[in-house]
Structure 1
Amino acid sequence: MSSRIDPAAYEDDIGTVSSREFGEITRRQVRRYARAVEDDNPLYTDVEFAREQGYDDLVVPPNFLSAVIDPGAGKPADELRRDGTAPDSIPVTIPEDAMLMGGGQDITINRYVTAGESITEEETFTDIYQKDAEFGTLTFVERTSEYVADEAAPCIECDKTLIVGDAP
């Protein structure tokens, strides 16, 4: 149960920053993601169209970066939690029988990322708190990610909320 998570135990971790490399975002990744989310915007699929609009290459859909849980190969199946997530995917230890749920994202686009750029994510653990619900205590884990290419300023910023609850 998520009520077994003690937010006070993580107070000193708030403000902790972790970094991960996405590497180069490929045209194939952009096209496959656009297809998966059923977005037929030609900026995501047609290089010539994207260039005619002033971009260097295909535009990466803004929510692509924040949707990627692990840009690498991922953990072997026998190292994943039963819900399919890696135990170290967030900065809080989650009880094995808890369920993780997306609680929303707020994305700020400073400039669009295009295929061919190499991206680094800098994620800051910003808060942890609990709320009581009809079916038990929910723990909210908040993080802010900045996605950076070659320049110092982030291309995209994303505030993310993850909710930890009791598995059904």
Structure 2
Amino acid sequence: MTQQTQDLVPEAAAAQVGALVATATGDVLRREWQRWAVAVGDRNPLWFDVEHARAQGYDDVVAPPLYLQYAVLGVTPLDTLRADGSSGAVSGDLAFPDAPRRMAGGESTTFHRYCGHGDVVTMERRVESIVQKQGRSGPFVLVTWRTTYTDQRDELVAEATTSMIARP
């Protein structure tokens, strides 16, 4: 690794690999997920129609899987977003002074079960890796987080791997 490469990943950031960097808990509420689903154009009857949900084997309507992050984190006011457009709420205190430009690198989520009205979901996010890479246009840092979502019974609801790219 060259000195330039080492400078992009400060020791303080590298030391956070494996660390729990964010936790949050939120309530799963029917009215809120239905508003969210309408706002994003998701009219799946599992979210709205009790009889349809029962015909599919559920006791009641269920929350859209992608609603989980909103249930836990809520909405960030536009005037409080970081320069990269994110809230920074779940990225931990990672600083890359020599690579300040940020962009999403991707996300993969596995959903294990649906949540219903009244469930309480807790998110825990850990830094999985911080890797210096060389791209066609120069060096960059790839940060990967692993996030788990569990309910009030400590049952795994979902797990996600999310990455971010930091460039000079």
- Same fold, TM-score > 0.5, yes or no: yes
- Unpaired runs of 5+ in structure 1? none
Counterpart contact for 1:103–1:161, Cα < 8 Å: yes
Supply the distance in 1 between the matched residues of 2:153 and 2:15 (Cα, whole angstroms). 30
Identity %: 31
**Count of residue correspondences:** 161
Deviation at residue 160 of structure 1 after TM alignment? 1.2
Root-mean-square deviation (CA), in Å? 3.0
Deviation at residue 50 of structure 1 after TM alignment? 1.7
Deviation at residue 119 of structure 1 after TM alignment? 0.7
Supply the distance in 1 between the matched residues of 2:137 and 2:54 (Cα, whole angstroms). 51
137 and 32 in structure 1: CA distance in 2 versus 1, 3 angstrom threshold = farther
Tell which deviates more after alignment, 26-35 or 149-158: 26-35
- Unpaired runs of 5+ in structure 2? none
**TM-score, reference length from structure 2:** 0.76
164 and 48 in structure 1: CA distance in 2 versus 1, 3 angstrom threshold = farther
Give 1:71's match in structure 2, choosing from 61, 70, 73: 73
**Structure 1 residue 84 and structure 2 residue 85: aligned?**
yes
Identify the residue that residue 163 of structure 1 maps to in structure 2. 165
Deviation at residue 26 of structure 1 after TM alignment? 1.6
Supply the distance in 1 between the matched residues of 2:56 and 2:153 (Cα, whole angstroms). 22
Deviation at residue 97 of structure 1 after TM alignment? 8.3
**TM-score, reference length from structure 1:** 0.76
**Structure 1 residue 26 and structure 2 residue 32: aligned?**
no
